[in-house]
Structure 1
Amino acid sequence: MEILCVDLHHAGYSDNKKTIKNIHFQLQQGELVGLIGPNGAGKSTIIKTILGLLEEVDGEINIAGNNRYAYIPEHPVYYEEFTLWEHIELAKAVNNIEDANFYQRAEQLISLFRLEHVKHHFPGSFSKGMQQKLMIIVAILIKPTLYIVDEPFIGLDPKAIKDFLSIIDEERQRGAAILMSTHVLDTAEKICDRFLLVNQGELIAAGTLDEVRAVSVPEASLMDCFYYFMENEKR
């Protein structure tokens, strides 16, 4: 089942500045797709377009199911005046979640990410990694059809990364699709089903690792394929 369909002719921040163009891809149920590219390649613009944050868009974005998606940003976004637990209660209210096990699941996630001691503290006092864990917990709790994840590993300790990847795998088994933007290519190579390589606002390669290798460097790692495309773009 198709969860996300992106069919963009172009999009940008003004009429005369088209940041991305000819971006066409789909995500299937239970699929994890890596969005790969150098800084300034257009990854953030693609994500903002999917989230509906850009006005200058020529194209369509379609999310199947209940249209419920969760966004885990690179830079945590939270309410200064709300505690960690109040963020969880807010997520429940805003998303009209009636799951009888919601608070039990919340407690389990808080324990998993070792945040019990700050459950009633304000996130402004947290480290970057702890704030990122809050973003992950809230996203998981709403059980979205689609996850859009931007650089999730930055600031997380090794155990939190392992726990996060385990949860992501469970969510895929539930049927959620995941679009993940990351620079951690060795991890992406291990966990992603397919890849979207972006540079200068356009898709320069897409497919499984074997499909990407077929148009770049046979038997190479994802990182080597990435460097191959970057070098050829310079010529």
Structure 2
Amino acid sequence: MSLISIKIKEAGYEPGETKIQNLEFSIHKGELIGLIGANGAGKSTTIKSILGYIPFLEGDIRLKEGIATAYLPERPVFYDELTLQEHIHFIAAVEELPEEIVKARVTPLLEKFKLTNHLHELPGTYSKGMQQKAMIILALMIKPDLLIIDEPFMGLDPIATKLLLDLILEESQRGVGILMCTHVLDTAEKVCDRFVLIDHGQQLALGTLEKFREICERPDGSLFECFHHLIEGKNHE
């Protein structure tokens, strides 16, 4: 059974101004789906539609009852007056997580991302990379069943990128369904089970890399090559 089923006939920010249309896919337990497309293709609008942030949506988004969802945005968002420790306490209170569970989950993440000594600082004073790491910790501390990630590698150095990839794969192996929006196609090719390709607000292709290769008639094509073949073929129609 899928954790979430997405059917979007059309969606947008203003009445009559459709940004995305005719999208249909699902995310299953333990599945990592790559949401790919050029800038302005509609990836972020798709994510916001799934999260319920888009005011005008015609379609059906069904979330499995009782599952926890976490969202890791492209641009880190924090409360200006709260330290990282206070953010952790706030989320723990909202999610009704016991202190011992929070400590067991958060401590190793703080150590991995070298933020233990910055717990009592305001995230607004962090570097961009540190802010991204803090957002990762806050997203993963609730042990979500469904994780939605928007451009997770922005601002991360190679070491932190490797750590995040390892965590994403660990979460997937734990059974978490993951939707990851990314421009980093070579990385997506290595870790994603399936891909949703969006172009000009519409779903252009859905499936595994093998399926994309079949559509493109490129048996050994990379995701990068298939991506450009599909986009260029659509634009030349």
Structure 2 residue 226 is the aligned partner of structure 1 residue 225:
yes
In structure 2, the partner of 1:169 is 169
Q: How does 1:1-235 map to 2 (within 5 A)?
A: 1-98=1-98, 100-218=100-218, 219-235=220-236
| Displacement of 1:203 | 0.6
Identity %: 47
Return the offset for 1:164. 1.1
In the alignment, structure 1 segments of 5+ residues that lack a partner are none
SS in 2 for 1:33: strand
Q: How many angstroms does 1:160 deviate by?
A: 1.1
> What's the C-alpha RMSD, in Å, of the aligned pairs?
1.2
What TM-score comes out, normalization by structure 1 length? 0.97
Whole-angstrom distance in 2 between the partners of 1:232 and 1:2: 31
Count of matched residue pairs = 235
**Alignment partners' CA distance in 2, 1:207 and 1:163:** 27
Return the letter of the residue paired with 2:227.
Answer: F
Q: 1 CA distance for matches of 2:126 and 2:38?
A: 29
Tell me how far apart the structure 2 counterparts of residues 26 and 197 of structure 1 sit (CA, whole Å).
Answer: 14
Q: Secondary structure at 1:121's aligned position in 2?
A: coil
Q: Runs of 4 or more off by more than 4 Å in structure 1?
A: none
What is the Cα deviation at residue 82 of structure 1? Answer: 0.5
Shift of 1:231: 1.3
Q: CA deviation at 1:217?
A: 4.2
1:217·1:225 contact (CA, 8 Å) conserved in 2? no
TM-score, scaled to structure 2 = 0.96
Mapped partners of 1:96, 1:65: distance in 2? 18
**Unmatched 5+ stretches in structure 2:** none
Task: Please list the CA deviations of residues 25-81 of structure 1 after superposition, one character each: whole Å capped at 9, or x if unmatched.
Answer: 001100000000001101011000001001211011112142321110110011110
Looking at structure 1, the residues matched to 204 and 98 of structure 2 have their Cα atoms a distance apart, in angstroms, of: 43
Deviates more, 1:64-73 or 1:95-104: 95-104
What is the Cα deviation at residue 99 of structure 1? 6.8
